[in-house]
Chain A
């Protein structure tokens, strides 16, 4: 049953991703993109990694999609009319696809059979973040704080 669900989700996800790349209206493209991300989250749910799926919904739909939608407000309304093929983008996409495929084929963990992996609980993620990965976590936190302050400085009104 779960493999059938995985196939259905994957088809929906790919269709949404294709729509995001090809649809004329920017707003529709963004919403398709958000739908594709929901598909990714659903796949994580199916694999038992609920936390990752939820964070994906939280960050990418609650924040990134809203951010993209706000940037659409800064574009022209008739932006869909003057389009031609963006070969640089296509080249980049093919390169990313090739790189990812190569990386996935090279990894060993694909071969691990699912039942041997312990279920991923929030507690285990928290413990891993607080012990083995505490330095990367702190560095990311520092970077994000710096970015936040930088954004505030950029938009602050200059006092005369």
Chain B
């Protein structure tokens, strides 16, 4: 009677079994291998890593395919049109058609291009994006790559993306590519700083750089109702918003997608890429997006913890991917809603607003910690954030009145 349910909820043993089903499946696969005569330890280690890698690639490449079609569907809905609906039911097979198209396209390499660098850039950029996925805890006991400095690993790997973008721009030997790469690197370097500084309060409060410990620190519920996620503290909420905006810039998403622009610099550093190499860039961009939203969910939204105590019977990985999907939906929503910003606006925003505010989060987190992490700490850190925010907005106020644009036509 395993399937029996108590008060409409699953039996605890069943939910535990479903929760750990992937972990147990992996254990079983490895135990199969260890029965082999004379299998040394390193073979098992390598096999274990390979299973993790293939699971990761399978899940996230599927998610990429799904996201590419869902994004177009949702954008279509926002813009009052249908979106892709020809291939398969509801257009769901669109990514397959796109993939085939990309694979059979001619791969054009410019004659004057630096062939080696041009070839290596998409590989490096995709490798960096996929590596960053490795440290995120996807569920209970489901971190593919457990490492002491996991958060640092994420950013160290992410920082190689800049070099890859530059390689793409330089290797193409095209001024549009070079200018696009410059724009991309400028905004990536500027926003890497706030991205890291907004993570610091969490690291400071938890006292560890390990994603698993950060998720564990967000377990439990205040008054048995509100989960102890960092986003429900004033410093956490502010840091989460700043992290989210910086993540948008890092993944070159729409309000900040200046490295690309059909009317100004074609496709930026991807101008001279075609066929599957272009698809690789596209994939790296989306996987980078998954990585950064996954890290946001891990750091501020409690990772794989469920939002309500009564819903804890739902497996942990379902919660993680629910949070990931919600954040990705916001990405798409913003893309359908906001116009583009200019590069100087992006830079001003980074150095004049986001950077001071992220330092404010650091101070507020310290205040929260020393005021006892309770209601008092909550109020004090809220006061700190509010004061710094008000002061900054008064300081940065340009006294420019916003009014509807007046168009003047020749009469």
* Residues of chain A within 8 A of B70, CB atoms compared: none
Given the contacts A25-B114, A28-B117, A62-B156, A51 and B149 also touching, CB distance less than 8 Å: yes
CB of B248 closer than 8 Å to a CB of A: no
Given the contacts A1-B42, A28-B117, A34-B163, A122 and B157 also touching, CB distance less than 8 Å: no
| Bound Cα distance from A58 to B209, whole angstroms | 15
Residues 129 to 187 of chain B near chain A (Cβ within 8 Å) = 147-149, 152-153, 155-157, 159-160, 162-163, 166-167, 170, 185
For the complex formed, measure the closest distance between the CB of A105 and the CB atoms of chain B, giving whole angstroms.
Answer: 31
Partner of B117, one of A31, A55, A62, A63: A31
CB of B330 closer than 8 Å to a CB of A: no
CB of B116 closer than 8 Å to a CB of A: yes
B148–A69 CB distance below 8 A? no
Given the contacts A50-B148, A57-B156, A121-B148, A69 and B166 also touching, CB distance less than 8 Å: yes
| Bound Cα distance from A61 to B167, whole angstroms | 13
A122–B209 CB distance below 8 A? yes
A69–B163 CB distance below 8 A? yes
Chain B residue nearest in CB terms to A30: B163
Interface residues on B, range: 20 to 34
CB of A27 closer than 8 Å to a CB of B: yes
| Bound Cα distance from A95 to B193, whole angstroms | 38
Residues 48 to 74 of chain A near chain B (Cβ within 8 Å) = 50-51, 54-55, 57-58, 61-63, 65-66, 69
Number of A interface residues at 8 Å Cβ cutoff, please give it. 21
Given the contacts A57-B156, A58-B152, A58-B156, A50 and B147 also touching, CB distance less than 8 Å: yes
B114–A27 CB distance below 8 A? yes
A61–B163 CB distance below 8 A? yes
* Chain A contacts to B: CB under 8 angstroms: 1, 25, 27-28, 31, 34, 50-51, 54-55, 57-58, 61-63, 65-66, 69, 121-123
* Chain B contacts to A: CB under 8 angstroms: 42, 114, 116-117, 120, 147-149, 152-153, 155-157, 159-160, 162-163, 166-167, 170, 185, 189, 192, 207-209
